[in-house]
Structure 1
Amino acid sequence: MPTYPIASYTKSARLFALYQYLPRDKAKAISLTELMIEYGDDPNNFANERKNLENDLIGLNQIFNDILYSEALVRVPAWGQNISGQTARFYIEPSFSIDIINEQTVFFWEMLDKYTANYLPISFKQSITDKLTQLHRQDKNNFHQSPLGQWQDHLITLPSVVQAPILDNEVIVSIHQALLQNCQLQISYQNKWDDSAVQRVVYPKGLIFIDNMIYLTGFNPADDHIDDDVLLKTHRNFAVNRITEANVINEPIPDWVGRNAFTLQNLHKLGKLELNDGTQIHLVLKVQKYACQHLYERPLSEDQTISIIDDTWNEVRATVANTHRLQDWLVSMSQLAVVVEPSELKAVILERLKSGMQLYNEKN
């Protein structure tokens, strides 16, 4: 909403404010009287402001027609028809956008649609689909005939083995609002091992996307402290699908949450954004020669080195975070790779493999 009555702005600003304010749904079409609530609030100048509003609506419609070749601003009854005895109502055609439309823009949304098809929750995927529908209505033929547009018939994304969890749209909206407005957030969070949700207050910091899971990262309530390490102990991550309810608290998050030490990039470097033991390790692996090929293409770290042991084995060295995802990957490489160092990680992987073997050896 504009900070001041729309009538107080220059004409160009008034037209833009009206474009933003008008509803995007025929069922929610708004009358001149309803528009006046936001447009002007001077009772001594009501008649003049209402006339200006009518002229601004006519001017906005003319811009859409003459420049954008669009009948985006809809009047009911239609423009040009006699409205005697009727209340005229106005809305913006929901498929209309003043975004710059070119083949690069549409290509971006097409690729986003394909590459997130199986990695984002249905509610997120739907928003992308809606955007594409809008773009296709405006420039469908030109895009599909363009070199970029032809790519969509040559790309496909295969689904993840495990589907994305279902998210509560109202929870997502509250999280977005709290993050963008720097407000505290009250959530009801149900740990996967608990029977009921626990209510708690969070200082939200951001969202983390890991595979097809989304996590809210933030801090438990705490007083300011000169030592960043003390405040880091209050850091927490929450799986968004386990947040059963979220409500924005009209209280700002403390200034310390915005320190450079607590940016998402720094939290990631500190190993705070996923399950891990908070340490960097010097990983040494013995990997079968042919299985090692993909590590040339997709290295474990920037400092990764690979050396040949013999005709069967290679040695891989890399500095990595000791995360659960790393351990899962090492278990999946069970018959192809052996952890040499560190010994603590080797023991963890060995124990997981023994447990798996025990399950498979049990008689059902």
Structure 2
Amino acid sequence: MSNSLSRVMAMLRHIPRHPRKIDTNALSRRLERAGYTISIRSIQRDLNDLSCILPLVADNGRPQGWSWQADADPFHLPFLDPQAALTFHLVQRHLSALLPESTLDYLAPWFRTATAVLEANDHGVTRWPDKVRVLPRGLRLRSPPIDPGVHATLYDALLRERQVTIRYLPRQATAPKEYVVHPLGVVARDTVIYLVCTMRNFTDVRQLALHRMRSAIMLDEPCNRPEGFDLDAYIADGAFGYSESGDTIQLEARFTSDAAAHLFEYPLADDQRIVPDGTGAVRVSATVLDTKELRWWLLGFGDQVTVLGPPRLRDRMRDTVAGMAAAYGLMTASVA
């Protein structure tokens, strides 16, 4: 390969996509570090020539900045292969709601190229998107609409670690309220996306649903992150399980064999034990977090599960079942 061609290829790799830019002085320094010695005048001449055949643009700044056009198709050597195109396609289909707007805009040319590659290739991998589906557990609910401006602002603030002023409509409120929040993370749970944050100067961590936000303005002030905060630890502590007591409990329950079948493959906890009780049913014990989600899960089995302990959970389940029976007009016997 000629030295001039390898130098041109090295130079093109350092040119960012608009609105970012790089000037000839910076390009000269980067090329010099890569082992290429060339004058700034020669770099300028190369860029002018290349802009006639490639989607390169220059601004009127001093020094002049160069960029790939914002909507230019990616310049690939080698060309995007079907496996890579499939990856971009799946990212666009399944992760768009979790990516910042700026990232999606940046990836848009790759998405277009990926679609073109998949449509142009008669290859097994190109038909993969028609063969794979991701299904949620339980009843499928529709995702609530999120204001695109709010979505973009919050994700940008999360990237830049900046505070945000939001207008938020709390559940059952009639008018939105204004808050200053410190973004810490984003969690997608089922069909709802939550902003994990602190508010004003408080340190307690909150969850705010994005679809309840009516506006968002990013501020110049940096966000304050609680010392030692870790998003994974926050989730593991049951934050999204809607904690009842915040404690772990020793669950004891009698399951029918059919209801407990999946627990052999997907245990509730590392210390889970399943023991036949001699009646065709099994007794399940495990250390779990005391959450509303646990109770919803147990109630979902109906009469196939009987909670034996701890007493507080058994009493709550008994009261719920009694309330359900009353709602359906049924008489219930007193249960000890």
Q: TM-score range by the shorter chain?
A: 0.7 to 0.9
Residue in structure 2 matched with residue 342 of structure 1 by the alignment: 310
- Give the 5 Å matches for 1:181-200: 181-200=160-179
Quote the offset at 1:200 in angstroms. Answer: 0.9
Q: Give the counterpart letter for 1:241 in structure 2.
A: H
Deviations, residues 76-130 of structure 1 (Å, cap 9, x unaligned): xxxxxxxxxxxxxx9748361247733433333455566679xx69x99xx6996
Cα 1:322–1:93 change in 2 (3 A) is same
Deviations, residues 151-208 of structure 1 (Å, cap 9, x unaligned): 3343334575211111111111111111111111111111111111111111110011
Quote the offset at 1:350 in angstroms. Answer: 2.7
Cα 1:184–1:59 change in 2 (3 A) is same
Match of 2:50 among 42, 50, 59: 59
Maintained 8 Å contact 1:175/1:185: yes
Maintained 8 Å contact 2:250/2:309: yes
Cα 1:114–1:135 change in 2 (3 A) is closer
- Give the 5 Å matches for 1:235-246: 235-246=205-216
Q: Quote the Cα distance in structure 2 between the aligned partners of 1:268 and 1:202.
A: 19
Maintained 8 Å contact 1:306/1:314: yes
Is 1:276 equivalent to 2:253 in the alignment? no
Q: Quote the Cα distance in structure 1 between the aligned partners of 2:195 and 2:188.
A: 9
Quote the offset at 1:11 in angstroms. Answer: 7.8
Match of 1:262 among 217, 229, 235: 229
The CA RMSD measured in Å over matched residues stands at 3.8
Quote the offset at 1:132 in angstroms. Answer: 4.5
Cα 1:297–1:110 change in 2 (3 A) is farther
Is 1:136 equivalent to 2:127 in the alignment? no
Q: Give the counterpart letter for 1:242 in structure 2.
A: R
Maintained 8 Å contact 2:16/2:68: no
Match of 1:324 among 276, 292, 304: 292
Q: Quote the Cα distance in structure 2 between the aligned partners of 1:154 and 1:287.
A: 36
Maintained 8 Å contact 1:284/1:316: yes
Q: Secondary structure, in 3 states, of the residue corresponding to 2:233?
A: helix
- Give the 5 Å matches for 1:3-18: 15-16=12-13, 18=15
Is 1:247 equivalent to 2:224 in the alignment? no
Residue in structure 2 matched with residue 21 of structure 1 by the alignment: 18
Q: Quote the Cα distance in structure 2 between the aligned partners of 1:115 and 1:310.
A: 46
Residue in structure 1 matched with residue 133 of structure 2 by the alignment: 156
Once structures 1 and 2 are overlaid, which stretch shifts more, 285-294 or 351-360? Answer: 351-360
Q: Quote the Cα distance in structure 2 between the aligned partners of 1:313 and 1:279.
A: 28
Residue in structure 1 matched with residue 81 of structure 2 by the alignment: 102
Give % identity: 20
Once structures 1 and 2 are overlaid, which stretch shifts more, 133-142 or 195-204? Answer: 133-142
Q: Quote the Cα distance in structure 2 between the aligned partners of 1:93 and 1:318.
A: 54
Q: Quote the Cα distance in structure 1 between the aligned partners of 2:69 and 2:263.
A: 53
Quote the offset at 1:352 in angstroms. Answer: 2.7
Maintained 8 Å contact 2:88/2:111: yes
Is 1:304 equivalent to 2:272 in the alignment? yes
Cα 1:178–1:152 change in 2 (3 A) is closer
Q: Secondary structure, in 3 states, of the residue corresponding to 2:178?
A: strand
Q: Secondary structure, in 3 states, of the residue corresponding to 1:218?
A: strand
TM-score normalised according to structure 2 size: 0.72
Q: Secondary structure, in 3 states, of the residue corresponding to 1:250?
A: strand
Cα 1:183–1:12 change in 2 (3 A) is farther
Maintained 8 Å contact 1:282/1:317: yes
Is 1:315 equivalent to 2:312 in the alignment? no
Cα 1:13–1:154 change in 2 (3 A) is closer
Is 1:166 equivalent to 2:132 in the alignment? no
TM-score normalised according to structure 1 size: 0.67
Quote the offset at 1:283 in angstroms. Answer: 1.3
Maintained 8 Å contact 2:15/2:68: no
Q: Quote the Cα distance in structure 1 between the aligned partners of 2:291 and 2:52.
A: 57
Q: Quote the Cα distance in structure 2 between the aligned partners of 1:174 and 1:320.
A: 37
Maintained 8 Å contact 2:158/2:185: yes
Q: Give the counterpart letter for 2:222 in structure 1.
A: P
Quote the offset at 1:308 in angstroms. Answer: 0.9
Quote the offset at 1:309 in angstroms. Answer: 0.8
Q: Quote the Cα distance in structure 1 between the aligned partners of 2:187 and 2:56.
A: 41
Gaps (5+ residues) in structure 2?
A: 1-6, 26-38, 58-66, 331-336
Quote the offset at 1:356 in angstroms. Answer: 2.9
